[in-house]
Amino acid sequence: MSSTDPKTLLPPSLAARVSALTIKNGRAIAVVDAAGLGAKDRGDIERAISDTLGQREDVSETRVVLTAERKQRRLIAVGSGKGGVGKSTLTANLAVALAKLGHKVGLVDADVYGPSQPVIFGNQGQKPVARDEKLVPVDSDIGIPVLSMGHLVEPGRALAWRGPMAGNALSQLIDAHWDDVDTLLVDLPPGTGDVQLTMLQRFKPMGAVLVSTPQDLALIDAARAGQLFDQAGVPIIGLVENMAGYACPHCGEMSDPFGKGGVETAAQRLDLPFLGRIPLDLAIREGSDKGTLPAAGDDLLAQPFHDIAAKIHSWIGAQS
Ligand SMILES: Nc1ncnc2c1ncn2[C@@H]1O[C@H](COP(=O)(O)OP(=O)(O)OP(=O)(O)O)[C@@H](O)[C@H]1O
């Protein structure tokens, strides 16, 4: 095979992008560095090279190989102002619902202080292996690869790590072999500490979802978490109200143990989109405890998760 200097055959603007060019038996192969180019520019370059080389007598077929063509992996962070509001439950169900919408989803459980995703996905006790000094995510029956601190440390062992150490551990979870995953959901630790800020700055998620219960205190904390995302320059996709409205399993009567509509009102006040509300339902808790996720189904329980995922899906679409 004979290598050719691209500059001798292509105009300078195209040649600058070509890292290797060979012509043999009428077949030209051009390797193009497509890093940082959008789909349209990549298409334009591919066509221009094919057209230019195709005019040569010694070329009957041109192949253009675009490198760095890897899909850009987007990170979506799920945060809350305080613990226990259902952030992990929401993240796991959104992962399943977004996968149903065609995304290749992976999940990082960055909640170093209370990792719960291994239980939710039923893959606790499995240890991720390392390849080339990077972790390989742990598979789950439902098809979502997951990496959690809970996979790395003994269950129940409290992690009294300080900021930088926790930050480095989290980097390993995110900078892992996610392969064809295009959408990585990150279940952040609750609150607005250094770990969260470091994370947001280091990995710059495409957007963030905030979850809160309708309780006043949770709402105040959620607003504070919103400021943290603002500070880090991460757009907030919207707010979710969890544990809204309780249907009595005996008589079906609805009650609102944590109040009603508080998150939607807060979203209006903060000028943020409201993505939807998830009812307080025993089946959601039971499902999480035994590794069956409501969003995997298509019944009433699954519906709110699918509706919220659809809004996130549209938001993602509007960014590209
Ligand atoms: N809508 C709901 N209905 C019933 N139970 C729920 C609901 N959402 C969450 N739960 C339950 O509430 C508990 C706390 O939820 P979860 O672990 O998702 O919260 P969290 O905000 O991630 O908490 P932490 O940050 O402390 O891990 C779990 O037992 C979960 O199953």
Query: Residue 189 and residue 169: Cα distance in Å, rounded?
Result: 13
With both helix axes pointing from N to C terminus, report the angle between 216-231 and 262-269 in degrees, rounded to the nearest 10.
40
Query: Residue 63 and residue 53: Cα distance in Å, rounded?
Result: 10
CATH of domain 74-319: 3.40.50.300
pLDDT in tens, 145-177: 999 988 887 765 655 655 666 777 788 899 899
* CA 50 – ligand 1 centroid, Å: 55
Q: Cβ(184)–Cβ(146) under 8 Å?
A: no
pLDDT at 249 over 90: no
Q: Which atom of ligand 1 is nearest to the CA of 90?
A: 18
- Give the residue carrying structure tokens 């959601």: 284
- With a 6 A CB cut-off, is 80 part of the ligand 1 pocket? yes
pLDDT in tens, 255-271: 877 667 788 988 998 89
Closest alpha carbon to 88 in 149, 167, 139, 138: 149
**Integer angstrom CA distances of residue 268 from 111, 127, 192, 201, 272:** 28, 43, 22, 27, 6
pLDDT in tens, 177-192: 998 899 999 999 888 7
Question: Complex ipTM above 0.90?
Answer: yes
- With a 6 A CB cut-off, is 123 part of the ligand 1 pocket? no
Q: What is the DSSP string of 229-263?
A: HHHTTPPEEEEEEEEEEEE-TTT--EE-TT-SSHH
pLDDT in tens, 61-119: 999 988 764 556 899 999 998 888 999 999 999 999 999 999 999 999 988 777 889 99
Superfamily of domain 2-67: Fe-S cluster assembly (FSCA) (3.30.300.130)
Pocket test for ligand 1, best of 80, 88, 91, 243 (most atoms within 8 A of CB): 88
* Residue 295 DSSP one-character state: G
Task: Give the pLDDT score at 144.
Answer: 96
Task: Give the pLDDT score at 92.
Answer: 97
* CA 85 – ligand 1 centroid, Å: 6
β-strand pairing of 134-135 with 130-131: antiparallel
Residue 81, CB-side half-sphere exposure with 13 Å CA sphere: 21
- With a 6 A CB cut-off, is 119 part of the ligand 1 pocket? no
- With a 6 A CB cut-off, is 190 part of the ligand 1 pocket? yes
Q: Does 106 appear as a known binding residue?
A: no
Pocket test for ligand 1, best of 121, 288, 290 (most atoms within 8 A of CB): 288
% of the chain at pLDDT higher than 90: 42
Torsion of CA 113, 158, 132, 175, to 10 degrees: 10
Task: Give the pLDDT score at 161.
Answer: 59
- With a 6 A CB cut-off, is 261 part of the ligand 1 pocket? no
Residue 238: phi and psi, rounded to 5, are 165, 180
- With a 6 A CB cut-off, is 111 part of the ligand 1 pocket? yes
DSSP-assigned beta bridge partners for residue 231: none
- Annotated domain spans of the chain: 2-67, 74-319
What is the Rg, in whole angstroms, of the alpha carbon atoms belonging to the chain? 24
Q: Which atom of ligand 1 is nearest to the CA of 283?
A: 4
- With a 6 A CB cut-off, is 114 part of the ligand 1 pocket? yes
Residues 6+ apart with CB under 8 A from 243: 85, 86, 213, 214, 257, 258, 278, 279, 280
